Amino acid sequence: MLLSSRTIIILIGFSGIFLVISSNFIMNHEGGVFAKPGKDNPGKGHGKNKNNDSGGDRPKDAPKDAPKDAPKDAPKDAQNKIQVETDIYKGFAFDTDGNNVSKNFNLAAVGDVGCSSNAEKTVNNIQKNEPELVLPLGDLSYQKSANCWFDMMAPLKNKIFITLGYHDVNDGQAKIDQYYKSFQLDKPYYSFDYGKVHFIVMASESKFEKGSEQYNFVVQDLEETSKNKDINWVIVTSYGPFYTSPSKHTAEKDLRDIYHPLFEKYNVDLVLQAHNHNYQRTFPISYSASDSSKPTVTNQFTTDYNSQTDGIVFAIVGTGGEGFYPLDGQASYTATQFDRFGFLNIDISNGNPHTNLTGTFYDNKGDEVRDQFTIEKEIKK
Protein backbone atom coordinates (compact mmCIF):
# COMPACT_ATOMS: atom_id res chain seq x y z
CA MET A 1 0.00 0.00 0.00
CA LEU A 2 1.35 3.46 -0.91
CA LEU A 3 1.46 5.92 1.99
CA SER A 4 -0.50 9.14 1.43
CA SER A 5 0.22 12.55 2.89
CA ARG A 6 -2.28 11.72 5.65
CA THR A 7 -0.33 8.68 6.82
CA ILE A 8 1.11 8.86 10.32
CA ILE A 9 4.47 7.17 10.79
CA ILE A 10 5.65 6.28 14.26
CA LEU A 11 9.20 5.06 14.59
CA ILE A 12 10.16 3.04 17.64
CA GLY A 13 13.91 3.08 17.85
CA PHE A 14 14.59 0.02 19.92
CA SER A 15 14.77 -3.53 18.57
CA GLY A 16 14.73 -2.15 15.02
CA ILE A 17 10.88 -2.13 14.95
CA PHE A 18 9.07 0.30 12.67
CA LEU A 19 5.31 0.75 13.23
CA VAL A 20 3.30 2.30 10.40
CA ILE A 21 -0.27 3.35 11.09
CA SER A 22 -2.38 4.68 8.24
CA SER A 23 -5.10 7.20 8.92
CA ASN A 24 -7.23 5.16 6.55
CA PHE A 25 -7.49 2.60 9.35
CA ILE A 26 -8.30 5.19 11.98
CA MET A 27 -11.31 6.65 10.24
CA ASN A 28 -13.81 4.78 8.15
CA HIS A 29 -15.36 5.89 4.91
CA GLU A 30 -17.44 9.02 5.50
CA GLY A 31 -17.53 8.72 9.28
CA GLY A 32 -16.69 6.95 12.53
CA VAL A 33 -15.81 3.30 12.85
CA PHE A 34 -19.11 2.09 14.27
CA ALA A 35 -22.31 2.58 12.30
CA LYS A 36 -25.74 3.04 13.80
CA PRO A 37 -27.23 -0.32 14.86
CA GLY A 38 -30.22 -1.64 12.97
CA LYS A 39 -33.73 -0.94 14.17
CA ASP A 40 -36.12 -3.64 15.33
CA ASN A 41 -39.18 -1.97 13.88
CA PRO A 42 -41.51 -4.29 11.96
CA GLY A 43 -42.10 -3.22 8.38
CA LYS A 44 -39.35 -0.62 8.28
CA GLY A 45 -36.51 -1.92 6.17
CA HIS A 46 -33.43 -3.75 7.41
CA GLY A 47 -34.54 -3.49 11.00
CA LYS A 48 -37.59 -5.72 10.59
CA ASN A 49 -36.04 -8.72 12.23
CA LYS A 50 -38.28 -10.46 14.27
CA ASN A 51 -29.40 -28.32 6.41
CA ASN A 52 -28.94 -28.52 3.06
CA ASP A 53 -27.90 -31.10 0.40
CA SER A 54 -24.42 -29.76 -0.17
CA GLY A 55 -22.31 -27.55 1.97
CA GLY A 56 -21.60 -24.79 -0.52
CA ASP A 57 -17.94 -24.01 -0.99
CA ARG A 58 -17.07 -25.83 2.24
CA PRO A 59 -16.11 -29.54 2.24
CA LYS A 60 -19.12 -31.78 1.68
CA ASP A 61 -19.36 -33.12 5.22
CA ALA A 62 -18.15 -30.04 7.06
CA PRO A 63 -20.59 -28.61 9.62
CA LYS A 64 -22.27 -25.31 8.87
CA ASP A 65 -20.38 -22.54 10.63
CA ALA A 66 -23.40 -20.29 10.97
CA PRO A 67 -22.87 -16.76 12.16
CA LYS A 68 -24.50 -15.45 15.28
CA ASP A 69 -27.81 -13.72 14.68
CA ALA A 70 -26.15 -10.43 15.59
CA PRO A 71 -22.48 -9.56 16.02
CA LYS A 72 -21.66 -8.13 19.41
CA ASP A 73 -20.48 -4.57 19.53
CA ALA A 74 -16.93 -4.15 20.75
CA PRO A 75 -16.57 -3.39 24.47
CA LYS A 76 -16.12 0.26 25.36
CA ASP A 77 -12.43 -0.16 26.09
CA ALA A 78 -11.89 -1.61 22.62
CA GLN A 79 -13.81 0.94 20.59
CA ASN A 80 -10.74 3.10 20.11
CA LYS A 81 -8.72 0.25 18.66
CA ILE A 82 -7.58 0.60 15.08
CA GLN A 83 -9.55 -1.36 12.47
CA VAL A 84 -6.72 -3.12 10.64
CA GLU A 85 -8.61 -5.40 8.24
CA THR A 86 -11.89 -3.83 7.22
CA ASP A 87 -13.51 -0.42 6.94
CA ILE A 88 -17.11 0.46 7.73
CA TYR A 89 -18.89 2.11 4.80
CA LYS A 90 -21.57 4.54 5.87
CA GLY A 91 -24.36 5.62 3.55
CA PHE A 92 -24.95 2.17 2.02
CA ALA A 93 -28.03 1.22 4.05
CA PHE A 94 -31.42 1.99 2.54
CA ASP A 95 -34.29 2.93 4.83
CA THR A 96 -37.63 2.25 3.12
CA ASP A 97 -39.68 4.55 5.37
CA GLY A 98 -42.16 6.48 3.28
CA ASN A 99 -41.75 4.25 0.22
CA ASN A 100 -44.66 1.89 0.86
CA VAL A 101 -46.78 3.43 -1.88
CA SER A 102 -48.29 2.22 -5.11
CA LYS A 103 -45.69 2.92 -7.76
CA ASN A 104 -43.96 1.44 -10.77
CA PHE A 105 -40.29 0.69 -10.22
CA ASN A 106 -37.49 -1.66 -11.20
CA LEU A 107 -34.88 -3.55 -9.22
CA ALA A 108 -31.70 -5.44 -10.07
CA ALA A 109 -30.72 -8.84 -8.61
CA VAL A 110 -27.44 -10.74 -8.97
CA GLY A 111 -25.15 -12.88 -6.82
CA ASP A 112 -21.61 -14.32 -6.78
CA VAL A 113 -20.16 -10.94 -7.64
CA GLY A 114 -16.56 -10.64 -6.45
CA CYS A 115 -14.27 -7.80 -7.54
CA SER A 116 -13.10 -8.77 -11.03
CA SER A 117 -13.36 -6.78 -14.24
CA ASN A 118 -16.42 -8.89 -15.07
CA ALA A 119 -18.02 -7.73 -11.82
CA GLU A 120 -17.26 -4.11 -12.68
CA LYS A 121 -19.03 -4.58 -16.02
CA THR A 122 -22.04 -6.02 -14.22
CA VAL A 123 -22.19 -3.02 -11.90
CA ASN A 124 -21.96 -0.67 -14.88
CA ASN A 125 -24.72 -2.62 -16.62
CA ILE A 126 -26.95 -2.35 -13.56
CA GLN A 127 -26.21 1.35 -13.21
CA LYS A 128 -27.31 2.04 -16.80
CA ASN A 129 -30.73 0.56 -16.03
CA GLU A 130 -31.18 2.93 -13.07
CA PRO A 131 -32.84 0.53 -10.61
CA GLU A 132 -34.44 1.85 -7.44
CA LEU A 133 -33.38 -1.26 -5.51
CA VAL A 134 -30.36 -3.56 -5.85
CA LEU A 135 -30.43 -7.07 -4.37
CA PRO A 136 -26.98 -8.74 -4.18
CA LEU A 137 -27.77 -12.43 -3.64
CA GLY A 138 -24.74 -13.58 -1.64
CA ASP A 139 -21.02 -14.23 -2.05
CA LEU A 140 -20.46 -10.53 -2.47
CA SER A 141 -16.71 -10.56 -1.80
CA TYR A 142 -14.29 -13.48 -2.04
CA GLN A 143 -11.52 -11.68 -0.14
CA LYS A 144 -10.89 -11.43 3.61
CA SER A 145 -12.57 -8.05 3.64
CA ALA A 146 -15.32 -6.58 1.49
CA ASN A 147 -13.50 -3.31 0.87
CA CYS A 148 -13.09 -3.83 -2.87
CA TRP A 149 -16.75 -4.84 -3.20
CA PHE A 150 -17.94 -1.74 -1.35
CA ASP A 151 -15.70 0.49 -3.47
CA MET A 152 -17.00 -1.09 -6.66
CA MET A 153 -20.66 -0.84 -5.56
CA ALA A 154 -20.36 2.81 -4.50
CA PRO A 155 -22.38 4.11 -7.52
CA LEU A 156 -25.32 1.98 -6.29
CA LYS A 157 -25.18 2.77 -2.58
CA ASN A 158 -28.40 3.78 -0.82
CA LYS A 159 -30.20 1.24 -3.04
CA ILE A 160 -28.77 -2.02 -1.69
CA PHE A 161 -30.30 -4.79 0.43
CA ILE A 162 -27.80 -7.62 0.83
CA THR A 163 -28.27 -11.36 1.13
CA LEU A 164 -25.33 -13.05 2.84
CA GLY A 165 -23.61 -16.07 1.26
CA TYR A 166 -20.97 -18.60 2.25
CA HIS A 167 -17.94 -16.36 1.71
CA ASP A 168 -19.66 -13.46 3.43
CA VAL A 169 -20.12 -15.27 6.76
CA ASN A 170 -17.28 -17.81 6.82
CA ASP A 171 -14.28 -15.56 6.12
CA GLY A 172 -13.96 -14.23 9.66
CA GLN A 173 -15.87 -12.12 12.15
CA ALA A 174 -14.32 -8.87 10.94
CA LYS A 175 -15.88 -9.35 7.51
CA ILE A 176 -19.28 -10.22 8.97
CA ASP A 177 -19.14 -7.15 11.19
CA GLN A 178 -18.26 -5.05 8.17
CA TYR A 179 -21.51 -6.04 6.44
CA TYR A 180 -23.61 -5.73 9.58
CA LYS A 181 -22.33 -2.30 10.52
CA SER A 182 -22.22 -0.86 7.00
CA PHE A 183 -25.82 -1.93 6.32
CA GLN A 184 -27.09 -1.33 9.87
CA LEU A 185 -28.18 -4.94 10.27
CA ASP A 186 -28.87 -6.69 13.55
CA LYS A 187 -29.70 -10.09 12.03
CA PRO A 188 -28.67 -11.86 8.80
CA TYR A 189 -32.34 -12.21 7.79
CA TYR A 190 -34.91 -9.43 7.57
CA SER A 191 -37.78 -8.07 5.48
CA PHE A 192 -38.99 -4.77 4.08
CA ASP A 193 -41.76 -3.26 1.95
CA TYR A 194 -41.28 -1.16 -1.14
CA GLY A 195 -43.86 -0.04 -3.69
CA LYS A 196 -46.50 -2.63 -2.65
CA VAL A 197 -43.90 -5.40 -2.80
CA HIS A 198 -42.85 -7.28 0.32
CA PHE A 199 -39.29 -8.65 0.33
CA ILE A 200 -38.00 -11.37 2.64
CA VAL A 201 -34.22 -11.75 2.78
CA MET A 202 -33.27 -15.19 4.11
CA ALA A 203 -29.95 -16.37 5.54
CA SER A 204 -29.37 -19.88 4.22
CA GLU A 205 -25.95 -20.02 5.92
CA SER A 206 -27.60 -19.53 9.33
CA LYS A 207 -29.89 -21.92 11.18
CA PHE A 208 -33.20 -22.21 9.38
CA GLU A 209 -34.74 -25.48 10.62
CA LYS A 210 -38.25 -25.54 12.09
CA GLY A 211 -38.26 -23.92 15.51
CA SER A 212 -35.18 -21.77 14.77
CA GLU A 213 -35.34 -18.01 15.20
CA GLN A 214 -35.18 -17.55 11.44
CA TYR A 215 -38.01 -20.01 10.82
CA ASN A 216 -40.21 -18.34 13.42
CA PHE A 217 -39.43 -14.96 11.90
CA VAL A 218 -40.35 -16.08 8.37
CA VAL A 219 -43.60 -17.72 9.50
CA GLN A 220 -44.70 -14.66 11.47
CA ASP A 221 -43.62 -12.31 8.69
CA LEU A 222 -45.56 -14.20 6.00
CA GLU A 223 -48.63 -14.41 8.22
CA GLU A 224 -48.61 -10.66 8.83
CA THR A 225 -47.97 -9.91 5.16
CA SER A 226 -50.89 -12.09 4.05
CA LYS A 227 -53.20 -9.75 5.98
CA ASN A 228 -51.70 -6.57 4.55
CA LYS A 229 -53.96 -5.28 1.78
CA ASP A 230 -51.27 -2.82 0.66
CA ILE A 231 -49.00 -5.66 -0.54
CA ASN A 232 -49.45 -7.11 -4.04
CA TRP A 233 -46.24 -9.11 -4.44
CA VAL A 234 -43.97 -11.21 -2.22
CA ILE A 235 -40.37 -11.81 -3.31
CA VAL A 236 -37.90 -13.95 -1.33
CA THR A 237 -34.11 -13.95 -1.66
CA SER A 238 -31.92 -16.88 -0.56
CA TYR A 239 -28.26 -17.53 -1.29
CA GLY A 240 -28.79 -21.31 -1.14
CA PRO A 241 -30.85 -22.63 -4.09
CA PHE A 242 -34.09 -24.52 -3.54
CA TYR A 243 -33.85 -26.05 -7.02
CA THR A 244 -31.07 -26.31 -9.58
CA SER A 245 -30.13 -28.13 -12.76
CA PRO A 246 -27.03 -30.35 -12.41
CA SER A 247 -24.09 -28.05 -11.68
CA LYS A 248 -21.29 -27.70 -9.14
CA HIS A 249 -23.65 -27.34 -6.18
CA THR A 250 -26.79 -29.38 -5.58
CA ALA A 251 -30.05 -27.96 -4.28
CA GLU A 252 -30.61 -27.35 -0.57
CA LYS A 253 -33.12 -30.11 0.21
CA ASP A 254 -33.80 -29.11 3.82
CA LEU A 255 -34.37 -25.51 2.82
CA ARG A 256 -36.74 -26.62 0.08
CA ASP A 257 -38.72 -29.07 2.21
CA ILE A 258 -39.25 -26.58 5.01
CA TYR A 259 -39.97 -23.40 3.08
CA HIS A 260 -41.46 -24.19 -0.32
CA PRO A 261 -44.74 -25.48 1.21
CA LEU A 262 -44.76 -22.42 3.45
CA PHE A 263 -44.24 -20.12 0.48
CA GLU A 264 -47.14 -21.77 -1.32
CA LYS A 265 -49.41 -21.33 1.68
CA TYR A 266 -48.70 -17.60 1.80
CA ASN A 267 -48.58 -16.95 -1.98
CA VAL A 268 -44.93 -16.07 -2.54
CA ASP A 269 -44.48 -15.06 -6.18
CA LEU A 270 -40.73 -15.23 -6.89
CA VAL A 271 -37.64 -16.67 -5.18
CA LEU A 272 -34.20 -15.28 -6.15
CA GLN A 273 -31.10 -17.38 -5.43
CA ALA A 274 -27.38 -17.67 -6.20
CA HIS A 275 -24.50 -20.05 -5.24
CA ASN A 276 -24.22 -21.78 -8.63
CA HIS A 277 -22.34 -19.43 -10.95
CA ASN A 278 -24.80 -19.47 -13.84
CA TYR A 279 -28.37 -18.42 -14.65
CA GLN A 280 -31.33 -20.72 -14.25
CA ARG A 281 -35.04 -19.92 -14.16
CA THR A 282 -37.81 -22.42 -13.51
CA PHE A 283 -41.29 -22.62 -14.90
CA PRO A 284 -43.90 -21.91 -12.22
CA ILE A 285 -43.67 -24.99 -9.99
CA SER A 286 -45.49 -26.44 -7.00
CA TYR A 287 -44.02 -28.53 -4.21
CA SER A 288 -44.02 -32.32 -4.56
CA ALA A 289 -44.36 -34.03 -1.18
CA SER A 290 -43.56 -37.48 -2.60
CA ASP A 291 -40.21 -36.33 -4.07
CA SER A 292 -39.39 -32.67 -3.54
CA SER A 293 -36.56 -32.82 -6.09
CA LYS A 294 -39.22 -33.30 -8.78
CA PRO A 295 -41.63 -30.39 -8.40
CA THR A 296 -44.80 -30.17 -10.47
CA VAL A 297 -44.64 -27.78 -13.41
CA THR A 298 -47.91 -25.84 -13.43
CA ASN A 299 -47.35 -23.83 -16.61
CA GLN A 300 -45.03 -24.95 -19.41
CA PHE A 301 -44.97 -21.69 -21.31
CA THR A 302 -41.72 -19.73 -21.15
CA THR A 303 -43.56 -16.58 -20.02
CA ASP A 304 -47.02 -15.10 -19.29
CA TYR A 305 -47.78 -16.65 -15.91
CA ASN A 306 -50.72 -16.06 -13.59
CA SER A 307 -49.66 -15.78 -9.98
CA GLN A 308 -53.08 -16.82 -8.65
CA THR A 309 -53.30 -20.07 -10.63
CA ASP A 310 -49.67 -21.00 -11.35
CA GLY A 311 -46.87 -21.97 -8.97
CA ILE A 312 -43.78 -20.11 -7.78
CA VAL A 313 -40.93 -19.09 -10.09
CA PHE A 314 -37.40 -19.76 -8.78
CA ALA A 315 -34.38 -18.09 -10.39
CA ILE A 316 -30.64 -18.60 -9.80
CA VAL A 317 -28.72 -15.47 -10.74
CA GLY A 318 -25.10 -16.34 -9.89
CA THR A 319 -23.79 -14.29 -12.80
CA GLY A 320 -22.22 -11.27 -11.12
CA GLY A 321 -18.61 -11.82 -12.13
CA GLU A 322 -17.07 -14.98 -10.69
CA GLY A 323 -16.08 -17.81 -13.06
CA PHE A 324 -18.91 -19.95 -14.37
CA TYR A 325 -19.90 -23.35 -13.04
CA PRO A 326 -20.72 -25.95 -15.72
CA LEU A 327 -24.32 -26.89 -16.43
CA ASP A 328 -24.31 -30.69 -16.77
CA GLY A 329 -27.85 -31.06 -18.04
CA GLN A 330 -31.18 -29.28 -17.67
CA ALA A 331 -33.80 -30.15 -15.07
CA SER A 332 -37.29 -30.84 -16.37
CA TYR A 333 -38.68 -27.92 -14.35
CA THR A 334 -36.11 -25.42 -15.72
CA ALA A 335 -37.46 -23.10 -18.39
CA THR A 336 -34.11 -21.65 -19.41
CA GLN A 337 -30.46 -21.71 -18.33
CA PHE A 338 -27.12 -20.36 -19.56
CA ASP A 339 -23.75 -19.03 -18.45
CA ARG A 340 -23.46 -15.32 -19.18
CA PHE A 341 -22.37 -12.43 -17.01
CA GLY A 342 -25.19 -10.02 -16.31
CA PHE A 343 -28.11 -9.39 -13.96
CA LEU A 344 -31.84 -9.94 -13.63
CA ASN A 345 -33.88 -6.75 -13.89
CA ILE A 346 -37.39 -6.89 -12.41
CA ASP A 347 -40.03 -4.33 -13.37
CA ILE A 348 -43.10 -3.89 -11.19
CA SER A 349 -45.93 -2.28 -13.16
CA ASN A 350 -49.12 -1.33 -11.35
CA GLY A 351 -52.19 -1.12 -13.54
CA ASN A 352 -55.92 -1.52 -13.10
CA PRO A 353 -57.24 -4.12 -12.59
CA HIS A 354 -53.97 -6.05 -13.01
CA THR A 355 -50.37 -5.65 -11.90
CA ASN A 356 -47.38 -7.22 -13.65
CA LEU A 357 -43.94 -8.42 -12.61
CA THR A 358 -41.54 -8.70 -15.55
CA GLY A 359 -38.11 -10.29 -15.22
CA THR A 360 -35.47 -9.55 -17.86
CA PHE A 361 -31.90 -10.88 -17.84
CA TYR A 362 -29.53 -8.33 -19.36
CA ASP A 363 -26.27 -9.74 -20.68
CA ASN A 364 -23.21 -7.57 -20.10
CA LYS A 365 -22.47 -7.90 -23.81
CA GLY A 366 -24.37 -4.97 -25.23
CA ASP A 367 -27.46 -5.27 -23.02
CA GLU A 368 -28.53 -8.43 -24.81
CA VAL A 369 -31.80 -9.84 -23.41
CA ARG A 370 -31.18 -13.51 -22.60
CA ASP A 371 -34.41 -14.28 -20.74
CA GLN A 372 -37.73 -12.57 -20.12
CA PHE A 373 -40.83 -13.66 -18.25
CA THR A 374 -43.98 -11.97 -16.94
CA ILE A 375 -46.18 -12.82 -13.98
CA GLU A 376 -49.61 -11.21 -13.75
CA LYS A 377 -52.10 -10.93 -10.91
CA GLU A 378 -55.22 -9.00 -10.06
CA ILE A 379 -54.80 -6.03 -7.76
CA LYS A 380 -56.31 -6.56 -4.32
CA LYS A 381 -59.50 -4.64 -3.84
Mean pLDDT of the chain: 81
**Mean pLDDT along residues 206-213:** 97
* pLDDT band at residue 56 under the 50/70/90 scheme: very low
pLDDT of residue 228: 93
pLDDT of residue 89: 94
| Residue 375 or 22, more confident | 375
Percent of the chain with pLDDT over 70: 75
Q: pTM of whole model > 0.85?
A: no
Dump pLDDT digits (tens) for 9-21.
333 333 343 333 3
Residues 6+ apart with CB under 8 A from 94: 45, 46, 133, 158, 159, 160, 161
pLDDT at 161 over 90: yes
Cβ–Cβ < 8 Å for 32, 82: no
Cβ–Cβ < 8 Å for 139, 168: yes
**Mean pLDDT along residues 128-140:** 96
* pLDDT band at residue 4 under the 50/70/90 scheme: very low
Q: Is 170 left (phi over 0), alpha (psi -120 to 50) or beta?
A: alpha
- Radius of gyration of the chain measured on its C-alpha atoms: 21
pLDDT of residue 94: 84
pLDDT at 143 over 50: yes
Cα–Cα distance measured from residue 338 to residue 35, given in angstroms and rounded to the nearest whole number = 40
* pLDDT band at residue 97 under the 50/70/90 scheme: low
pLDDT at 104 over 70: yes
Q: Which residues are 336's β-sheet partners? A: 281
Dump pLDDT digits (tens) for 287-313.
999 999 999 999 999 888 988 788 999
| Range in 40-44, 270-274, 333-337 the model is least confident about | 40-44
Sorted by where each starts, the structural domains of the chain and their CATH numbers stand as 35-378 (3.60.21.10)
Q: Which has the closest alpha carbon to 138: 109, 162, 174, 107? A: 162
How close are the terminal C-alpha atoms of the chain, in Å? 60
* pLDDT band at residue 352 under the 50/70/90 scheme: confident
pLDDT at 167 over 60: yes
| Range in 197-211, 248-262, 348-362 the model is least confident about | 348-362
pLDDT of residue 41: 34
Cβ–Cβ < 8 Å for 204, 58: no
